[in-house]
Every structure is written in structure tokens, then in C-alpha cells.
Structure 1
């Protein structure tokens, strides 16, 4: 009888966000194939996928970029790594995220740019590289154009689809601690174009499409994204309210 008091499933995102995520997820299936989603490898923040040592050298970052490119089925030979500096003013204890990466095209290469102050955390570097290399697949290969308003959030969604979304989702909110002699402080910034709830719902679609109802990789997600993912999985499986082709309507 305790089941009488079980709460009704609630979608973790708004109706508008839900419709966009499902529509674009279906679009990605059409562009990259269902097999790429269901059979692709989920890339984890472990030494099975990335080097154990990281000292922020250009050679190390180049090797990481090559690995990310290969995981996304992009040839490293068409990419060129660059670095730049962006000013980040601090306002009332909050730092403005500024830019951490950029993408541009030249005659023979796709240029991937990393902001030099964002290189301390290798997980942030991987998230930025995955996003910028995603531009190669979407913009560089002319699947979409710059004039499409949602091309940036779509690129974040692509990282989930291609198995590198753990890095993108976990980099959404970042805490920074600093110490300068007798002074120390803390600040928080935001990175990326999808909210934590939107990432969670995208991962719910990812898991359901792969038949992973209780995936082990959930433990690798930051708590707020993980909670939204679980909530989204429950909502979809119990209601069938999802327009993606791999969900059976109830």
C-alpha cells in the first residue's frame, strides 16, 4: 500500500527545453546514426582514456586534443591547437566566465583555441576541446550554419551524444579558490550553454537509448546533473512522454 504515496514523475526541464532537447537529439540521430549513439564508447575521466600526468604543457594539451578528436571520430591531422588570453573581471565575488575556447577555420586547418587561464584543470580542458571540436562536426562539415540561434547549445548536446558529455556537464559550474599570502577567497563561474537540468535530461535520453536504466556512469556526474538525469529517466519510462523514436509511447 505504500505505493499509493509514490509521487508522480515530473520532468526536470521546462516544456520548451524538453521539446528542444528531444527535437535536436532526434536530429543528431539523423545526422550521425543510431549506432553511433547506442554502440559508441562513453568516455570517462579516468586513465583508461587520458594520460595520468598533466602539467599544462603545450605537448600534453596537444596529446589530449588528439585523443578527444579521435573519440569524436575527427582526424587530429585537420586540427591546429592555439592559445589566447582573455580578460576576466571579478565582480562582487563572482568572476565572469569570459571565453575558455574558440573555433575558427583557415584554408587547410580547423583552428582550436584555448584560453590560457583555463588550463589548470584538465577536465575543463577536455570539456572545452570536446565543445570546440564539436564545431568542426557541425559548422566545419556544414551540418549547420552560424546563423542558427541554437548552434552553441546544440554543440554541447552533441558532446553528450558522442560520449564526452560527462566532461561538459561537470564543467557547467566551477568553483575557484585563491590564496595570496594573508588573503584568500572563493568565486564561482559558469561554463557552457546548457543548464545542469538540461544536461541531466539529455543524459536521460542517452541512457534510455542505450538500454542503460541504472548506468554505472551516473556516479561520475556531478550531483545536480545526476539528480536531473534520474528524474528524467523516471519521467520518460513511467509516462512515455518523449518524442524520440527509441521511446515507446504509453
Structure 2
């Protein structure tokens, strides 16, 4: 009968085990009380009470507010900016990234650096135009501080870093920022770019969020905030987890 139909798991069994082991590792490392009391952060004034203008001051505000949400206290972090936007040459030619000039470029939304006892987060200027992506990037970079800067892990692990940001409640931002589409245009040229942000696939992000929702007994209306792809994977994950004891 249709109501007994086994719910489809949107991730592989190996991925499911990695997610759950990773989240349980974080729970043990942060303490169960701290981990269990974290909550989902929504793109609302409840968490980021500001009218965004897309400038550097917004990024400063988001960094400060996100540090408060992630309970990062008594730590000074420098915020710097770099550019990875299309370049217009004198003849009107559009170069999509600096890779077209030297053949080697790895695009990044943000970077975290510790040097000479100073902590710095670098933000790609294009992120200033997209508040959701900017919050996702800053939460990820702050997760580097929580894992590496506080000596919870010895070697950098970008996947675990993404999972940490999700555990701190930023799954909506990270999931909705996973794929981005942008266009550029001048008097003679028009083009578009598809870029990826973050490290975990949407299915893994969605399952992680659903697992946390069940574990923490949350009542957040996730579907209100997720894009269509993320909503599909989240619903599949949520339905699957309802069948697990």
C-alpha cells in the first residue's frame, strides 16, 4: 500500500553515515548541552536586523553579528576584501576571471587566515551584492576558527567546516548559496557565469539540516526559506527520517 512505501534517501548510505558521524563528533567536541541548544538561523530580522546596502559596512555588521550567534567571544578578526569579478579590457573584451590572463586561478568566496597571532577573513567583493551568500561565507570562515583556531582538529577539513556551519544553524544560507548564476554586460558584450559556493552537495546539506531538526526537535518552517532544489531534498530527508526509530 502506498502509505507503507519506503521513503527514498536522497544521499548514499556512506554519505548518511559520514553526516551522522560528523555531527555526533561535533556534539561530543562542543558538549551535548551547547550542541543541542543551537538553533536554525533564518534570513529574517530576528537574526540580522539591518537594511542591507551591499557595502563593506554590511560585511562588518554580518561578521560581528555572526560571531555573536556562533558565541565567538574575546576574539578580534580582521576583515579584508579581494575581487574575482569579470574584467573589461581596453578593447571591450570581457575576461570572466583572472584565469584568462594567466591560466591559473582558483575562485573563492572567502578565505580564513591565521598569521602572526592575527586572524583575518577575506571576502570576495562580489559577495557584498548577495546577503545570503555573504552570511554563508562568513559562517563557513568562522567555522575554520572554531575548528582550527581552537585546536579541535589538526588539519584543515573543508567538508567538516561546512558541516560545522550547518550545525551552528546556517544550513539555509549555505544550501541556497550552493549554486549561483550571474550575468555581465557592456556596450559590446553580454555573458553569464555559473559558480559553485561551498563544498558539500545540496543533498548532504539538506539531510544534515533534517537530521538536526529531528535531533533538536525544531519547529522551523524550513520550506518557507529554502529554494526549490533544497526544499525537495529537505522534504525527502525529513520523510526518510520520520521512518527511522
TM-score of Structure 1 vs Structure 2, range by shorter chain: 0.7 to 0.9
1:79 aligns with 2:85: no
Counterpart residue number, 1:245: none
1:28-77 CA distance string (max 9 Å, x none): 11012333343223221112222432233333311110001111111274
Counterpart residue number, 2:174: 168
1:64-115 CA distance string (max 9 Å, x none): 1000111111127421111123477649xxxx97111001112333111111
Of 111, 119, 122, which aligns to 2:128? 119
Of 138, 151, 155, which aligns to 1:129? 138
Give the 4+ runs in structure 1 shifted more than 6 A: none
User: RMSD in angstroms over aligned alpha carbons?
Assistant: 2.3
CA contact under 8 A between 1:87 and 1:98: conserved in structure 2?
no
Distance, in Å, in 2 between the alignment partners of 1:78 and 1:192 is 24
Structure 2 residue runs without a partner (length 5+): 87-94, 98-104
Counterpart residue number, 1:209: 215
Change (3 A) 1:218 1:39: farther
Distance, in Å, in 2 between the alignment partners of 1:146 and 1:4 is 47
Change (3 A) 1:32 1:215: same
Distance, in Å, in 2 between the alignment partners of 1:183 and 1:104 is 37
SS of the aligned residue for 1:49 comes to coil
Counterpart residue number, 1:67: 65
Change (3 A) 1:87 1:146: farther
Of 225, 241, 244, which aligns to 2:230? 225
Task: Number of aligned residue pairs: give it.
Answer: 230
Counterpart residue number, 2:185: 179
TM-score (norm 1): 0.83
Counterpart residue number, 1:14: 12
Counterpart residue number, 2:154: 145
Change (3 A) 1:87 1:60: closer
Range with bigger deviation, 114-123 or 8-17: 114-123
Distance, in Å, in 1 between the alignment partners of 2:146 and 2:226 is 25
Counterpart residue number, 1:190: 196
Range with bigger deviation, 53-62 or 14-23: 53-62
SS of the aligned residue for 1:66 comes to helix
Structure 1 residue runs without a partner (length 5+): 241-247
Distance, in Å, in 2 between the alignment partners of 1:97 and 1:184 is 23
